[in-house]
Amino acid sequence: MLSVANGYVEMDSDDRPMVIRGLKVPGSHRAVDPEEPHHVMRRLRRLMWDFGFQDVGYESSVSDVYLWGHPPEAARRERSEISLGDHLRAAS
């Protein structure tokens, strides 16, 4: 299972914490597209399909977007030498 942040916390006018949908640019007050967590998950979901994962799905909550899937049959029998991180670096 993977998780991507789906919001960030800011204080409202009464100084109470509230969750704002989307992601924030680190070190700034600027927010990015509220749909960006879903765009990230769709890219990761495609990578999982490329790796042969089965029953891949994702679900959104207030604070996170979760992605899951079952490893391909071959991965259950024998561990691959290529990691998801290697594949992400190669795709960049």
Instruction: Give the pLDDT confidence of 42-82 residue by residue, as tens digits.
Output: 899 999 999 999 889 888 887 788 999 988 875 555 555 55
* Residue 4 and residue 64 in contact, taking contact as beta carbons nearer than 8 Å: yes
Q: How confident is the model at residue 89 (pLDDT cuts 50, 70, 90)?
A: low
CA–CA gap between residue 6 and residue 73 (Å, rounded): 31
Give the structural domain span for 81.
2-91
Q: What is the mean pLDDT of the chain?
A: 79
* Residue 18 and residue 25 in contact, taking contact as beta carbons nearer than 8 Å: no
Per-residue pLDDT at 16: 93
pTM given for the model: 0.61
Which amino acid would we find at residue 38? H
Q: How confident is the model at residue 15 (pLDDT cuts 50, 70, 90)?
A: very high
CA–CA gap between residue 52 and residue 16 (Å, rounded): 44
Residue reference for tokens 């204080």: 11
